[in-house]
Amino acid sequence: MVDDTAAGNSIQRNKRLLTRALAVCGAMFLFGFACVPLYRIACEHVFRNKIYNTADSAKGFRVDESRWVTVQFVGNVNSQLDWSFAPEQVTMRVHPGAVNDAWYDAANKAQTAIVGNAVPSIAPSQGSPYFNKIECFCFTEQVLKPGESRRMPVKFVVDPKLPKTIDTLTLSYTFYNNRPATKKLAEQTQATQPPNS
Amino acid sequence: MTTHATAHHDDHHDDKPHGFLHRWVYSTNHKDIGTLYLIFAFIMVCVGAAFSGVIRTELMKPGLQFVQPYFFNEMTTMHGLVMIFGAIMPSFVGLANWMIPMMIGAPDMALPRMNNWSFWILPFAFFLLLSTLFIPGGAPAGGWTMYPPLSIQGGDSVALMVFSIHLMGISSIMGAINIIATILNMRAPGMDLLKMPVFVWSWLITAFLLIAVMPVLAGAVTMLLTDRYFGTSFFNAAGGGDPVMYQHIFWFFGHPEVYIMILPAFGIISEIVPTFSRKPLFGYQAMVYALASIAFLSFIVWGHHMFTVGMPLGGELYFMYATMLIAIPTGVKVFNWVSTMWGGSMTFEAPMLWAIAFIVLFTIGGFSGVMLALVPADFQYQDTYFVVAHFHYVLVTGALFAIIGAIYYWWPKWTGRMYNETWAKVHFWWSAVFVNVLFFPQHFLGLAGMPRRIPDYNVAFADWNLVSTIGAYGMYLTPFMFFFILWHSKKHGAPAAARAWEGAHGLEWTVPSPAPFHTFSTPPVIHDEDLAHGDVSH
Ligand code: HEM
Ligand SMILES: [Cu+2]
């Protein structure tokens, strides 16, 4: 019958459309996950905004002795982390291009060993690309045993190209509990130390 | 082909399946599924309204009177999720099911079995979501936008919420694919794409938006789930992730989503206004292209929800200008509706009243949207009641008013009965007054600095909050009015003619009222006057 082939054709076309549409859906689902690396690339290369900690070299800056920049230090602890954490110095006056050292102190107030990660941030954000950390406790995980405390260094250089309108930079850290790592640590110590009773 | 069927049913003209199970649960008939969607959406409107009742009652006076702050947050979150995914979206899908096949001369939806699935998934999705109210730790309380880290703290409602969103996503994707297949493959001969009613066009474009962005939302909530339960750190700063990235992904879905909730409303208004102006729609092609450009632009403006997260200046400027660009095609639509009415012989039956209210009040929402799009101004308005006022103007007096107008407009076609015009006018005027009493003062509250999503506030905000709550209580009567008007019509309404409205054009008005169970089993021959938009020469 003529009708049958017409109906058959339309079923064919519907099936083809269905597979194509599902392919689009699958692709968009993957796109959601592709946003993760895309986002990092956009932040780091297009907007020069580091979201992942990487060490910068001093790049052979010339020290600009004609200029002073004030650097302020702030330390915060996320509410999920039972540590104390604070900078040793509140401000420093530095020359752009010179390498400087600052110190932070952290102590674990909890009864268990905890792995923490510090996330840095620079204000104002326009100054952020010009603040180079050569060495920083925020590059790695910090493990503190119960009651343990530690002095932690930050080595930094302010890029002499820092816009003239900026004369103060604020470096602030927030310390977070790295839960997956803390959990793994607890499991490892349990596995290596036989229960003592 | 139906000889054996008619032989068994001695008196029926339709071969409807008998029994609740066969008629409704196994249904593959586009009209029955449309009805199911609309009933489901009505129930969800009532549930969502109940949640908002808790919110407005607590906010009637400053101080904490009735509920704990955490429960208050559960209510704001659930209200948003239920209204968006349970009320507005299913209503539009229900209208699409009922009307699209009849408007393009097709016998049914292209994939009827899948149609059955896409509806019946929804009750399960909302069962999961609503069940979180009764589990330890309570319902999700981090806002409908589910920003981490807040949204993944708290109880195990996270998992249930994520699964229910997966289900809703699957349901709307299947519905969307069905609509695309129906429109592209099932049109009657002579129904060219550019002769389709604008409602059909609006749904074709909306369906493309749905299959493009619902999977992105599914991806984002999956990442929330793995962050919470499987130790990943997509959005966890301690593990090297970034919570701001969630906002980017969410709003890449979220802004097209708000247009998913308004484009079909544009389509509805483009059907109602010409009918009661007794003139063809002004600028049919411009309307279609405006829909398409709004849909395109909606993909590239998501950043306007995130002006305050610390974007580079260039990004802020880009998102500001791109957002303001949307006002142009939107303006084209508004002006074309007004031009359609201009010089027409207008009458003001209930559907037309809702449509006119839509045009006026949606435009107010569009204006507050343009205000929010201004970066320097948005730093002030972000997360205040001004944003709440904005999106309720576009969603309640926009999307919801259009849905109510559409139900009044096509009700005679569905049931074969007219409703009581006087009571429908009471329903309309009551809603039009109280919805403004409810939402207009929220503009003032927001400009004065009252934050959104808070159970308690400074006494300075007391007066307008009381006014707003009075408006809300007025609105709570309207679902009852609507229900009784429709119930009364179903039982006692005057019989409706096939062309229930004098000025109505379009294929749906060529079939009898009520529309028989099966329409257009053989493709219709289309006459020029059957086309909704008169001008067929283009
Ligand atoms: C001319 C058109 C529009 C413009 C320029 C616009 C602009 C904006 C902007 C800039 C915001 C963010 C405000 C903030 O959080 O500070 C916003 C929020 C919102 N808009 Fe619109 N908008 C428009 C139309 C619409 C439409 C048509 C809808 C829905 C039908 C809608 C729904 C929403 C919703 C739901 C939010 C709040 C989301 C949330 O944070 O929970 N908007 N709009
Ligand atoms: Cu938006």
Q: If pLDDT is split at 50, 70 and 90, which confidence band does B382 have?
A: very high
What pLDDT does residue A134 have? Answer: 83
Q: Alpha-carbon distance B371 to B358, whole Å? A: 20
Structure tokens at B210: 């749905």
What pLDDT does residue B6 have? Answer: 38
Q: Do A21 and B185 touch (CB under 8 A)?
A: no
Cβ of residue B220 closer than 8 Å to a chain A Cβ = yes
Tell me B139's DSSP state. S
- The CATH code of the domain at A1-180 is 2.60.370.10
Quote the ligand 1 centre to B443 CA distance (angstroms): 14
Instruction: Mutate one of B216, B217, B228 to test the A interface: name it (highest A CB count within 10 A).
Output: B216
Tell me the mean pLDDT in the region B211-220.
Answer: 96
What pLDDT does residue A80 have? Answer: 85
Angle, to 10 degrees, between the axis of helix A2-41 and the axis of helix B157-185? 140
Q: If pLDDT is split at 50, 70 and 90, which confidence band does A70 have?
A: very high
What pLDDT does residue B349 have? Answer: 95
Pocket test for ligand 1, best of B362, B390, B392 (most atoms within 8 A of CB): B390
Residues B243, B235 contacting (CB under 8 angstroms)? yes
Q: Atom 28 of ligand 1 has which residue's CA nearest to it?
A: B258
Would you tell me how many other CB atoms lie within 10 Å of the CB of residue A102?
19
User: What digits encode the pLDDT tens for the residues B305-315?
Assistant: 999 998 888 88
Q: Is B323 in the pocket of ligand 1 (CB under 6 A)?
A: yes
Q: Is B255 in the pocket of ligand 1 (CB under 6 A)?
A: no
User: What digits encode the pLDDT tens for the residues B343-360?
Assistant: 999 999 999 999 999 999
DSSP per residue over A140-193, as a string?
A: S-EEE-TT-EEEEEEEEEE-TTS-TT--EEEEEEEEEE-HHHHHHHHHHHHHHS
Does residue B149 have a cis bond before it (omega within 30 degrees)?
A: yes
Chain B residues with CB-CB distance to A47 below 8 A? 312, 315
Rg over alpha carbons for chain A, rounded to the nearest Å, is 26
Q: If pLDDT is split at 50, 70 and 90, which confidence band does B264 have?
A: very high
Active site residues of B: 79, 108, 144, 171-172, 255, 257, 259, 270, 304-305, 330, 333, 452
Q: Alpha-carbon distance B220 to B254, whole Å? A: 11
Cβ of residue B252 closer than 8 Å to a chain A Cβ = yes
Closest CA to B196 of B519, B497, B538: B538
Q: If pLDDT is split at 50, 70 and 90, which confidence band does A52 have?
A: very low
Say what percent of chain B tops pLDDT 90. 81
Residues B340, B358 contacting (CB under 8 angstroms)? no
Q: Is A52 exposed, middle or buried (0-12, 13-18, 19+ CB in 10 A)?
A: exposed
Residue A191 has pLDDT above 80, yes or no: no
Closest CA to B140 of B129, B125, B148: B129
Closest CA to B349 of B404, B408, B436, B402: B408
Residue B2 has pLDDT above 70, yes or no: no
Question: Which of B3-7, B173-177, B198-202, B298-302 shows the lowest per-residue confidence on average (mean pLDDT)?
Answer: B3-7
Tell me the mean pLDDT in the region B365-390.
Answer: 95
Tell me the mean pLDDT in the region B423-449.
Answer: 96
Q: Do A14 and B245 touch (CB under 8 A)?
A: no
Average pLDDT, chain A: 84
What pLDDT does residue A60 have? Answer: 63
Q: Alpha-carbon distance B23 to B110, whole Å? A: 19
Angle at A120 between CA A116 and CA A126, to 5 degrees: 170
Report the side by side order of strands in the sheet with A149-158: A83-87, A99-108, A149-158, A131-136
User: What digits encode the pLDDT tens for the residues B62-102?
Assistant: 999 999 999 999 999 999 999 999 999 999 999 999 999 99
Nearest atom, ligand 1, residue B80 CA: 41
Closest CA to B455 of B57, B154, B48, B148: B57
Residue B235 to chain A, least CA–CA distance (Å)? 10
Tell me B394's DSSP state. H
Ligand whose nearest atom lies closest to the CA of B81? 1
Where exactly are the structural domains of chain A?
1-180
CB nearest to A33's CB, from B176, B181, B219:
B219
Tell me the mean pLDDT in the region B318-333.
Answer: 95
Q: If pLDDT is split at 50, 70 and 90, which confidence band does B435 have?
A: very high
Chain A residues with CB-CB distance to B252 below 8 A? 35
* Per-residue burial over A161-174, b = 16 or more CB atoms within 10 Å of its CB, e = otherwise: ebeeeeeebbbbbb
Q: Do B181 and A174 touch (CB under 8 A)?
A: no
Question: Which of B5-14, B59-68, B184-193 shows the lowest per-residue confidence on average (mean pLDDT)?
Answer: B5-14
Q: Do B180 and A17 touch (CB under 8 A)?
A: yes
Q: If pLDDT is split at 50, 70 and 90, which confidence band does A9 have?
A: confident
Count of alpha carbons within 13 angstroms of residue A31, beta-carbon side: 18
Q: Do A18 and B238 touch (CB under 8 A)?
A: no
Residue B7 has pLDDT above 70, yes or no: no
Task: Give me the residue label for tokens 């429109």.
Answer: B183
Tell me B154's DSSP state. S
Quote the ligand 1 centre to B388 CA distance (angstroms): 9
Quote the ligand 1 centre to B364 CA distance (angstroms): 12
Q: Do A49 and B312 touch (CB under 8 A)?
A: yes
Structure tokens at B504: 């109505």
Residue B197 has pLDDT above 80, yes or no: yes
Average pLDDT, chain B: 92
Say what percent of chain A tops pLDDT 70. 86
Q: Alpha-carbon distance A84 to A77, whole Å? A: 7
Residue B4 has pLDDT above 50, yes or no: no
Residue A48 has pLDDT above 70, yes or no: no
What pLDDT does residue A59 have? Answer: 53
Q: If pLDDT is split at 50, 70 and 90, which confidence band does B538 have?
A: very low
Which of the pair, A159 or B432, is modelled with greater confidence?
Answer: B432
Q: Do A25 and B181 touch (CB under 8 A)?
A: no
Q: If pLDDT is split at 50, 70 and 90, which confidence band does B524 have?
A: confident
What pLDDT does residue B9 have? Answer: 40
Q: If pLDDT is split at 50, 70 and 90, which confidence band does B537 have?
A: very low
What pLDDT does residue B287 have? Answer: 93
What pLDDT does residue A2 have? Answer: 42
Closest CA to A130 of A71, A189, A87, A66: A71
Q: Alpha-carbon distance B482 to B487, whole Å? A: 8
Instruction: Mutate one of B178, B245, B307, B311 to test the A interface: name it (highest A CB count within 10 A).
Output: B245
Residue A45 C-alpha from the chain's centroid: 15
Quote the ligand 1 centre to B389 CA distance (angstroms): 10
Query: CB under 8 Å, gap of 24 or more: what pairs does B490-494 form?
Result: B490/B415, B490/B417, B493/B415, B493/B417, B493/B418, B493/B419, B493/B420, B494/B417, B494/B418
Q: Alpha-carbon distance B216 to B230, whole Å? A: 20
Structure tokens at B101: 């096949």
Which of the pair, B463 or A197, is modelled with greater confidence?
Answer: B463
Structure tokens at B492: 């006692």
Residues A64, A160 contacting (CB under 8 angstroms)? yes
Say what percent of chain B tops pLDDT 70. 96
Structure tokens at A82: 């039972």
Cβ of residue B212 closer than 8 Å to a chain A Cβ = yes
Nearest atom, ligand 1, residue B367 CA: 1
Q: Alpha-carbon distance B156 to B136, whole Å? A: 8
CB nearest to A29's CB, from B110, B180, B218:
B218
Per DSSP, the three-state class of A112 is coil
Q: If pLDDT is split at 50, 70 and 90, which confidence band does B3 have?
A: very low
Residue A32 has pLDDT above 60, yes or no: yes
Quote the ligand 1 centre to B448 CA distance (angstroms): 19
What pLDDT does residue B252 have? Answer: 95
Residue B46 has pLDDT above 70, yes or no: yes
Q: Atom 22 of ligand 1 has which residue's CA nearest to it?
A: B369
Residue B240 has pLDDT above 80, yes or no: no
Does residue B524 have a cis bond before it (omega within 30 degrees)?
A: no
Residue B10 has pLDDT above 50, yes or no: no
Residue B179 has pLDDT above 60, yes or no: yes
Q: Is B395 in the pocket of ligand 1 (CB under 6 A)?
A: yes
Query: CB under 8 Å, gap of 24 or more: what pairs does A18-22 form?
Result: A18/B111, A18/B114, A18/B177, A18/B181, A21/B176, A21/B177, A21/B180, A21/B181, A21/B211, A22/B177
Cβ of residue B177 closer than 8 Å to a chain A Cβ = yes
Closest CA to B139 of B249, B54, B260, B244: B54
Q: Is B434 in the pocket of ligand 1 (CB under 6 A)?
A: no
Q: Alpha-carbon distance B78 to B47, whole Å? A: 10
